[in-house]
Structure 1
Amino acid sequence: MVMARHWYSSAPVVDGLPLLDEPGFWAAHLVDLGEEVPPEAFGVDAADAGAMLERLHDKSAWPTFTVPLEGGFSIVVHYNSGEEYTSTDYFLLSPGSADAVLASTDQDRIGPGPCWPELAAVRHAPDGAEGVADPHARLLLLLPVLGDSVIPAEAVDLVSAALLAYGAPKDCEALARRLLVGHPMWGAQPWSFDEDGRSWICDGNHSCRQTPIGDHLPLRCGLGGGRGGLFATPHWRRHHGLRAEAAQRLAVAAQDLPLALTAGWRRQQAERAGSRPPNRPPPSTPTRPSAST
């Protein structure tokens, strides 16, 4: 059973932030996604990866990581070594309201947590926020709870870039594809967009995202939807069943919503746009991005 977050206050929790730059961390943190993948694929040796795995599973020191979002919201990642085996719990923290479980690798296997658009949008931290701020680290830290059957080519590029930033060999594209197939506890799942709740929905057997997260948390928490320019993207409209007219209404509404993901998504769109003039729209008939696994 997933441990309620307030119980962690009496657990041997330690700040995990210093671990992110240590050898073997990412090979250990992503081990469940890459079964039979040697640590050398991450650019580290087996001894470093094994030593880090022991630290992450240390019953006397449970690492925790905070991924700050806009508006005071955050995602907190807790390693929990209080049972026979170590599990990882992912919580969405909301100012002034109850914390919510996004995903957990506990025996209850709750997941997936985010879909790809949500994960891509939280890569960038708010200015001056404390916690995990590096975009590559934020992406890789939350990658274990991704579970999306629609993975665009940009996802492979972003994960590859993140792996390279932390020492993986240049030819790490195959590893990136492997890491994007979803945690073995729940795998890749289809998502749809609930127009009324303005939230992404996943009906997987182990998902806690079967109802709009906005029903339980303020919409501005970010994981409730409202990604501005994303709604007008033909690829995501097509694959998630969103009509063009409804997408346009949501895009307009999103301009006035202080959502946690909005700023991150806009930064991502700006990166994509490159030198394109700000008033020039993207191509009206883009090719369908894909990533074979």
Structure 2
Amino acid sequence: MEGLPLLGEPGFWAAHLADLCEGESPEAFGVDGADAGAMLECLHDTSAWPMFQVPIEGGFSIVVHYTSGEEYTSTDHFPVHPGSPDVVMASTDQDRIGPGLCWPELAAILQAPDGAVGATDPHARLLLLLPVLGDSAAPAEAVGAVAEALISQGAPDACEPLARRLLGGHPMWGAQPWTFDVDERSWICDGEHSPRQTPLGDHLPPYWRVELEACLGAEPHA
């Protein structure tokens, strides 16, 4: 199911980000509980499996895919490109894979390429990919960026505490330390469950790996 039309529905962001702020009232997102509950049911519908495409440079997209069985719903995140193998960035299935992005990488892909199709609004892109993030060194401006995105989607102005909580990482893996490997030209995560303990796309042919790293290529500031 194409998920893009769901982005404008009441309760979507409260449902999509529910795992990152368990126990938080939907009113913190500016919606009521009934709307959030209905959207959660939609996202977990075993016949729906909604999918969201976040286009980035080089013809790549990061896909956010809800997969639901009778007993369990997981959310998978992976970059795709025609002709290249899939690379899992994060997954909330029983194997728990994540985090898959650090803040410099996420900040670098908030703007969609010209003419892109899919989720192109920077605020929506940030919130869609927030569950993939897990960065213990996310800078102060990250809080402001997340709060701004939340407000753009209907959250009250005083949502900075919610933004801080959302930056704490998914409970399956939390916020983890990252370092930039100059030789590999890739961010490396120290998290136990992260697929980024090795360079992103390490198993891909060299051409695809270089292209993928260039898409996310946010080197640390000197």
Could you say which TM-score interval applies, normalised by the shorter chain? Answer: over 0.9
Cα shift readout 1:109-130 (whole Å, capped 9, x = no counterpart)? 0000100001111111001111
TM-score (norm 2): 0.94
Paired residues of 1:199 and 1:224 also in contact (CA < 8 A): no
Q: CA RMSD in A?
A: 1.4
Match for residue 181 of structure 1?
A: 168
* Distance apart, 1:226 and its partner CA: 3.2
Paired residues of 1:197 and 1:214 also in contact (CA < 8 A): no
Match for residue 244 of structure 1?
A: none
* 2:211 maps to which of 220, 236, 239: 220
Paired residues of 1:200 and 1:224 also in contact (CA < 8 A): no
Residue 134 and residue 222 in structure 1: after superposition, are their counterparts in 2 closer, same or farther (change >3 A)? Answer: farther
Identity in percent:
72
Task: Name the SS of the counterpart of 1:178 in structure 2.
Answer: helix
Match for residue 141 of structure 1?
A: 128
Match for residue 69 of structure 1?
A: 56
CA distance in 1, matches of 2:105, 2:127: 14
Number of residue pairs the alignment of both structures matches: 218
Match for residue 96 of structure 2?
A: 109
Residue 137 and residue 52 in structure 1: after superposition, are their counterparts in 2 closer, same or farther (change >3 A)? Answer: same
CA distance in 1, matches of 2:16, 2:62: 16
Which protein shows a greater Rg? 1
* Distance apart, 1:88 and its partner CA: 0.2
Match for residue 181 of structure 2?
A: 194
Cα shift readout 1:107-152 (whole Å, capped 9, x = no counterpart)? 1000001000011111110011110000000000000111001011
Paired residues of 2:56 and 2:215 also in contact (CA < 8 A): no
CA distance in 1, matches of 2:186, 2:197: 10
Cα shift readout 1:138-177 (whole Å, capped 9, x = no counterpart)? 0000001110010111100110000000000010001000
Match for residue 191 of structure 2?
A: 204
Cα shift readout 1:199-256 (whole Å, capped 9, x = no counterpart)? 00012110101111253342221477633xx54x24xxxxxxxxxxxxxxxxxxxxxx
Q: Which runs of 5 or more residues in structure 2 are unaligned?
A: none
Match for residue 85 of structure 2?
A: 98
Residue 225 and residue 69 in structure 1: after superposition, are their counterparts in 2 closer, same or farther (change >3 A)? Answer: closer
* Distance apart, 1:82 and its partner CA: 2.3
* Distance apart, 1:196 and its partner CA: 1.3
